[in-house]
Homo-oligomer: A and B are copies of this chain.
Amino acid sequence: MIKFSLIVVGTEITQGYSRDTNSRVLAQALTVRGFEAHTIIKVPDSVALISQSINYLRRYSKILILTGGLGSTHDDVTREALSKALGRKLELRDELKIRMERLIPKGADNDMFLKQAYLPAGAKAILPEQGSAPGIIIEDEGRLIFALPGVPREMKAMLETVIKRIQTKFPRQPEQKQRIIKVFGAGEPLVAKEIDSIIKEYKDLDFTILAGIEEIKLIISLFAADGSYPAGRLEEAKKRITEVLGEVVFGFGDISLEQVVGDDLKRRNIKLFVAESCTGGLLSQKITAVSGSSEYFLGGVVSYSNQIKVDLLNVSPAVLEEYGAVSKEVAVEMAAGARAVSQADLALSITGIAGPGGGTSEKPVGLVFMAISDSNRTETRRFDFSGSRDAVRCQAAQSALNIIRLYLKKL
- Interface residues, chain A, CB within 8 Å of chain B? 11-19, 23-29, 31, 37-44, 49, 53, 56, 105, 107, 189, 193, 196, 208, 210, 217, 219, 273-274, 276, 279-285, 287-289, 291-294, 297-305, 307-308, 311-312, 341-343, 355-357, 389-390, 393
Contacts of A304 on B, CB cut-off 8 Å? Answer: 284, 288, 293-294, 297-300
A27 touches which of B14, B23, B24, B284 (Cβ 8 Å): B14
A31 touches which of B16, B193, B292 (Cβ 8 Å): B16
- CB pair B311–A341 under 8 Å, yes or no, is yes
A110 to chain B, nearest CB (A): 15
- CB pair A302–B280 under 8 Å, yes or no, is no
* Alpha-carbon separation in the docked complex, A293 to B302 (Å): 13
Contacts of A284 on B, CB cut-off 8 Å? Answer: 276, 280-281, 284-285, 302, 304
* Alpha-carbon separation in the docked complex, A301 to B357 (Å): 25
- CB pair B40–A14 under 8 Å, yes or no, is yes
A68 to chain B, nearest CB (A): 13
* Alpha-carbon separation in the docked complex, A219 to B15 (Å): 12
* Alpha-carbon separation in the docked complex, A85 to B404 (Å): 52
* Alpha-carbon separation in the docked complex, A389 to B14 (Å): 30
- CB pair B31–A24 under 8 Å, yes or no, is no
- CB pair A42–B43 under 8 Å, yes or no, is no
A166 to chain B, nearest CB (A): 15
Q: Which single residue of chain B is at the shortest CB-CB distance from A208? A: B12
* Alpha-carbon separation in the docked complex, A38 to B44 (Å): 7
* Alpha-carbon separation in the docked complex, A312 to B337 (Å): 12
6 closest cross-chain pairs (CB), A and B = A280-B288, A16-B28, A281-B284, A281-B281, A16-B27, A14-B37
Could you write out 6 A-B pairs with CB less than 8 Å apart?
A276-B284, A279-B288, A281-B285, A288-B304, A292-B357, A312-B341
* Alpha-carbon separation in the docked complex, A105 to B16 (Å): 35
